[in-house]
Amino acid sequence: MTNSPPDGNRRVKNPARLAVLVSGGGTNLQSLLDHFNSPESPVARVTLVISNRASAGGLERARLAGVPTRVINPVQAGEEAAGAEMLEALNAAGIDMVALAGYLKLIPPAVVKAYTDRILNIHPALLPSFGGAGMYGARVHRAVIESGARVSGATVHLVDDHYDEGRILAQWPVPVLPGDTEETLGGRVLKVEHLLYPLAIERFLTGEGDAPVAPLEAFDLIADTRPPAESIGGLNYRIALNNR
């Protein structure tokens, strides 16, 4: 894969500089910190964390890891000013790629334009189902259970000007088990998110293409059970990383 950097004039550094945007506790941020901010990972480093909430737990995770933080609140600053401030922060930090990790605001158009095909998000369902404005956290898992679906999962996708409509890069299916609640299904999906997101970002940056990663045993690992084959339908038991 060859990606032009946001300013179009230089190539991605090695390791790439990654900004993570959070609104909450930041467990997906933690999985990225654990994966990338270690001597063993030459691919990327999380070098900036931005939140729209000063109280977000993800900011403390960043500080404990020695990563600079920034709070940019579009409600207080206004959407256009917040977009300009975010773009200034990303450029000042020399950011190559942006990862959303539980960030609940729409990314400002100026940032999307400057970082076209360089912003990724992870969603706690198998898009294009159960996505869109207002579909996050427990709301997603409640909708999945109420629909009668027997499979949910996690999706990594590119970010555009609309919620959850960017090109899908990777998915990992997770069974919906009898008696599941929002909490139990959400916990099962979150475990998969923590495994999938760092790997998908790494594959995206290194351009390794379509690579099988998650075997049948993934269901045993996550759910301690394997659902009947008919509950899976046409889904494949692997991460499907699209050729770019």
Active site residues per annotation = 123
Phi, psi of 237 (to 5 degrees): -85, 65
Query: Taking the CA atoms of the chain, what radius of gyration do you get in angstroms?
Result: 18
Per-position DSSP letters for 111-172, written without gaps between them: HHHHTTT-EEEEESS-TTTT-STT--THHHHHHHHHHT-SEEEEEEEE--SSTT-SPEEEEE
Torsion of Cα atoms, 199 then 156 then 241 then 216, to 10°: 70
The residue whose two tokens read 């930090």 is: 93
Tokens of 209: 């293409």
Let me know: does 49 contact 69? Beta carbons within 8 Å. Answer: yes
